[in-house]
Amino acid sequence: MLHAVLPYVMCVVLFAIGLYAIAVKKNLIKVIIGAIIIDNAVNLFLVIVGYRTPLSGHSIAPIVTPEMAESRRELADLLSNAVDPLPQALVLTSIVIGLSVSALMVVMALRLHQKYGTFDLTQITKLKG
Amino acid sequence: MRGMTIIVKTIAALLIGFIMLFGFYIILTGHLSPGGGFSGGVICAAGLLLVILAFGADVVKERMGHNLAVLWESLGAIGFLGVAALGFITGAFFARFIPVQRGFQLFTAGSIPYLNLAVGLKVGAGLFGAFLMLAAFRESERATEGNSEGD
Amino acid sequence: MEHLLPLLVAIPLGAAFLIPMANLIGGRRGEPISEAIALLTAAALVAISLSTFAYPSAAAVWIGGYRGASELLGVTGGPASAEAPGPGQAPVRGVKVEEVVAESAAARAGLQAGDLITAWRPGGEFAPEEQFRPLHTINELRRENAALKPGSQLVLQVVRGGEPMELVVTGGKSVTGIAMFSDGLTRLLVVIISVVSFAALLFSMSYMRPYTKLHLYYSPLMLMIAGMNGVVVSGDLFNIYVFVEVAAMASYALVGFGVEAEELEASFKYLVLSAVASGFILLGIGIVYALRGTLNLAQIAEFTRFAQPNDALWLAVGFFVAGFGLKAAMVPFHAWLPDAHPQAPAPVSAMLSGLLIKASGVYVLARLTFNVLGVSTALAYVLMTMGMLSMLLGAFLAVGQWDFKRLLAYSSISQVGYVVLALGLGAEVLARREAISDKWAVLAFLAIFGGLLHLLNHAAFKALLFLASGSVVYRTGTRDLKELGGMGRQMPWTSFFTRIGALSISGIPPFNGFFSKLLIVIAVVWSGHWFLGVLTVLVSLVTLLTFAKAQRYLIEGEVPARFEGIKESPLPMQAAMAILAAACVLLGILIPLHMNTLVGPAAEALFGQLQGYAASVFGG
């Protein structure tokens, strides 16, 4: 029973680590790394959601081979026993979004270093009130 | 940013062709095996990043320029929207206008290979432009700081 | 009308990528070409959004198909056979189940291999108690199943090991494909988005002259419009997330557009907080998918009505409230807004405050609460609390500000708090029904209508005020109220429009703010939360005070020496402000005219809750 819950626990631990990094750390780069860890934790959660415990032992990848495409019965079997492919598509999209956000964050951190001369968050406080 | 030694330059020049070929293979067979537009585009962009690292950002900016990246990226996006708009031929936006046949061959999946191609172009060009910007940024920052140390 | 819905997203998306190409090819003439493309796109969007009034209110587009797939019932069986199910019993005719596919609808209903299905009938809340029909072949069952709407129920009479029992299967057509759906609420938001973005683009034509590389401004702006349109048109949960991210990423780039130190700091703070919120939203989506097996909003609504309630969904609801609450700048997730909105260029601030926090925050929260996940008292109380705290915090922090745009940003938090309070109140009344009042239906509709009307009004007057502040900045270079003064003499049109905006937001008749605030106060007091009503009126007074101060320091008073000779702002900027000011006035005076066509259907769409939404999507 524990081995079914363990991947989810790992997701939560990763998410907590990322959240800790964003909330507590003062270096801009560590905040960015925290945000990237959060993205990865959520992607991991989505992939695990799609897992289906198979009857036979090891899990089946949802790939349709040409021989299998001939009979509907085999297709139906594959669809219900293989790992769910929909969360994998969601994760692909989410990875792209995470990549763009990370790239934007890194470029902005570089520009901030250019303007303020430091990566320290406690000194980047021109906006107040 | 200065380039690397002559060994790295030669190997990069030899390998870039194969890397791009592999990237296009992944893009085009996205409907047959894992891959598709995004993964193939990232591979192409990584190959171009190898070229940037090996030859130096200024050389690449001269020969290939940021404008090329912007052009291909926009073409990729407009190509995607164009294929989607062509769906109006069969009645609705994004509808399949090339029929799907059984067969697991390259062209039997309707409009998906073309969509993959457009996405691959966009992602490859976009990431290449992003890497070029970052490399050029480092260059301008080093110039303003007057840092003359080696790489 | 179905064909227009994807165009709402595709046209700005195409423009967003035509603009860099035009800039590349056009060379020196590239910038006017970019502006022209942007304006044409905005005009086309206004035309499309106004043309939706010519069609009936609800339309759905399924991208990728909507076919019946009877395999999802998941059962194969032999031909009809007569068996004696047990010793000493009469033989029973039925279909013997050979195999039940795992994780299918039949398996989840509890059907097992070896059962004998003898009869079936349609089930569910609204099917009358019909007679059971005898089953002859398994294909008959599959055919009937494929003809039903998704989420429909079949009741099977089954004999297992001699025992007769009834099993309920939630089956129906399967939904394959990504839905785009438009109803009254979508139409309201599409009209708001098109008109405000048109005004902001018109304004940018002269405001952004001093900047260079304008294609890097127009392109993300078009992407933001495409993203917002996509959010309100999408009928699929993950599609909503993707479009929210598209719009958000465009806004990160736009907030930091003029790359000064403060703008970058504001943009970075906004970026990190928004990334965490997106993580929460995606977690919520994962949980909903794991429990319901589908991402289609209408099908989730059907499952919420008929399937077993699951406590894990509360976790998903919590994640959604946190994530979309941050996008809507609710307290306690509001910390990014007072930095991000003032630092952006004025037309971008107008669009962020007037559109983005509503389309990607309030709209999604309303859709998920009313139409997908179902109203409940807990969720309603959370929304009401967040709305009340936002109202109070925003109003009291706005009074003390001397930076005009920061004052407007805090006031945005306060006004959106009004909207969320009203929607939460509507949800509470719909959840508790007679416990609140015997006229609960009227009260709920009033609350929802007031909230949506305030959403419409706030888009108009807040965008107007931000554009006016941009006009002042364009001529004087500062937005500090202590340094400004006497603009009434130097810039008469700008001050006239500012006065209209300030009177609207303070709730003075006959401008539009008065009517929506009145409706919200009436709904709050009628439902018995009289203390909340007192707070609402107090916040309204504080808003009046805030904008009296703003008008005093901006428009009246002495003109400082260095602003002696400034002139009025250029014509496009005045035209943009005039459009929004006319909207403020007309939306107030002509309420009887637009009440039934614009906000009424939107409130009905939310009032119809789960069954109304599912019925509109699946065609009744």
Is A128 part of any domain? no
What angle, 0 to 180 degrees and rounded to 10, lies between the N-to-C axes of helices C30-51 and C4-26?
Answer: 170
* pLDDT at residue B100, rounded to an integer: 67
* pLDDT at residue C113, rounded to an integer: 72
Instruction: State whether residue B140 sits within 8 Å of chain A by CB.
Output: no
* pLDDT at residue C595, rounded to an integer: 83
CB contact under 8 A, C275 and A55: no
Comparing C148-157, C268-277, C465-474, C483-492, the range with the smallest average pLDDT is C148-157
Q: Is C97 helix (H, G, I), strand (E, B) or coil?
A: strand
Comparing A60-64, C30-34, C121-125, the range with the smallest average pLDDT is C121-125
pLDDT score of C70 more than 60:
no
Instruction: State whether residue B133 sits within 8 Å of chain A by CB.
Output: yes
CA B44 from chain centre, in angstroms, equals: 5
**HSE, side-chain direction, 13 A CA sphere, residue C341:** 34
Is B98 part of any domain? yes
| pLDDT greater at residue B150 or residue A23 | A23
Which chain C residues are within 8 Å of B85, Cβ to Cβ?
10
CB contact under 8 A, A22 and C272: yes
* pLDDT at residue A9, rounded to an integer: 92
* pLDDT at residue A93, rounded to an integer: 92
Which chain B residues are within 8 Å of A107, Cβ to Cβ?
133-134, 137
Is B151 part of any domain? no
Q: What's the structural domain count of chain B?
A: 1
Q: Mean pLDDT throughout C376-404?
A: 91
* pLDDT at residue C40, rounded to an integer: 85
Q: Best-predicted range by mean pLDDT among B56-65, B105-114, C523-532?
A: C523-532
* pLDDT at residue C130, rounded to an integer: 65
- Return the number of other C-beta atoms located less than 10 Å from residue C161's C-beta: 11
* pLDDT at residue B150, rounded to an integer: 37
Chain A residue set in contact with B, beta carbons under 8 Å: 63, 66, 69, 92, 96, 103, 106-107, 110, 114
Residues B29 and B35: beta-carbon distance below 8 Å:
yes
Comparing A121-125, B146-150, C97-101, C568-572, the range with the smallest average pLDDT is B146-150
pLDDT score of C86 more than 90:
no
pLDDT score of B40 more than 90:
yes
Comparing B120-124, C69-73, C420-424, C498-502, the range with the smallest average pLDDT is C69-73
CB contact under 8 A, C262 and A126: yes
pLDDT score of C71 more than 60:
no
**Chains B–C, number of C-beta pairs less than 8 Å apart:** 43
What is each CA distance from C580 to C463, C515, C577, in whole angstroms?
A: 8, 17, 5
* pLDDT at residue C509, rounded to an integer: 84
* pLDDT at residue B146, rounded to an integer: 43
* CATH, residue A80: 1.10.287.3510
Q: Best-predicted range by mean pLDDT among A36-40, B65-69, C88-92, C524-528?
A: A36-40
| pLDDT greater at residue C619 or residue C94 | C94
- Return the number of other C-beta atoms located less than 10 Å from residue B58's C-beta: 14
Is B96 part of any domain? yes
pLDDT score of B149 more than 70:
no
**Chains A–B, number of C-beta pairs less than 8 Å apart:** 18
Average pLDDT, chain C: 83
Q: Best-predicted range by mean pLDDT among A17-26, A52-61, C47-56?
A: A17-26
Q: What's the structural domain count of chain A?
A: 1
* pLDDT at residue C128, rounded to an integer: 55
Is B150 part of any domain? no
* pLDDT at residue A32, rounded to an integer: 94
Residue-wise pLDDT for C144-201, tens only, equals 776 666 666 777 777 777 677 777 776 666 666 777 888 888 889 999 999 999 999 9
Tell whether the torsion through CA atoms of C229, C235, C239 and C245 is positive or negative.
Answer: positive
* pLDDT at residue B41, rounded to an integer: 93
Give the span between the Cα atoms of B20 and B74, in whole angstroms: 20
Comparing C371-375, C603-607, C616-620, the range with the smallest average pLDDT is C616-620
* pLDDT at residue C81, rounded to an integer: 62
What range does the domain containing A58 cover?
2-123
Is B1 part of any domain? no
The pLDDT confidence band at residue C74, using thresholds 50, 70 and 90, is: low
Q: Which helix (H) or strand (E) holds C209?
A: none
* pLDDT at residue C608, rounded to an integer: 82
Q: Which helix (H) or strand (E) holds C68?
A: none
Which chain A residues are within 8 Å of C401, Cβ to Cβ?
129
* pLDDT at residue C385, rounded to an integer: 93
Structure tokens at C132: 């059971």
Residue B77: closest C-alpha in chain C:
C17
What range does the domain containing B88 cover?
6-145
Percent of chain C's residues with pLDDT above 70: 86
The pLDDT confidence band at residue C564, using thresholds 50, 70 and 90, is: confident
C27: left (phi > 0), else alpha (psi -120 to 50), else beta? left
Q: Which helix (H) or strand (E) holds C156?
A: strand C153-160
Partner-chain residue, chosen from C238, C249, C276, that has the shortest CB–CB distance to A90:
C238
Residue C278: closest C-alpha in chain A:
A39
CA C361 from chain centre, in angstroms, equals: 6
Partner-chain residue, chosen from C2, C24, C63, that has the shortest CB–CB distance to B70:
C24
Average pLDDT, chain B: 81
Tokens 């937005």, residue located: C479
Is A129 part of any domain? no
Give the span between the Cα atoms of B35 and C333, in whole angstroms: 38
* pLDDT at residue C68, rounded to an integer: 42
Q: Best-predicted range by mean pLDDT among C159-173, C344-358, C472-486?
A: C344-358
Residue-wise pLDDT for C407-436, tens only, equals 999 999 999 999 999 999 999 998 888 777
The pLDDT confidence band at residue C262, using thresholds 50, 70 and 90, is: confident
Residue-wise pLDDT for C308-335, tens only, equals 677 888 999 999 999 999 999 998 888 8
- Return the number of other C-beta atoms located less than 10 Å from residue C168's C-beta: 14
- CA of A60 vs chain C CAs: smallest distance (Å): 14
CB contact under 8 A, A126 and C283: no
| pLDDT greater at residue A127 or residue C386 | C386
Which chain A residues are within 8 Å of C256, Cβ to Cβ?
108, 111
Residue-wise pLDDT for C431-462, tens only, equals 888 777 778 888 999 999 999 999 999 999 99
Is A40 part of any domain? yes
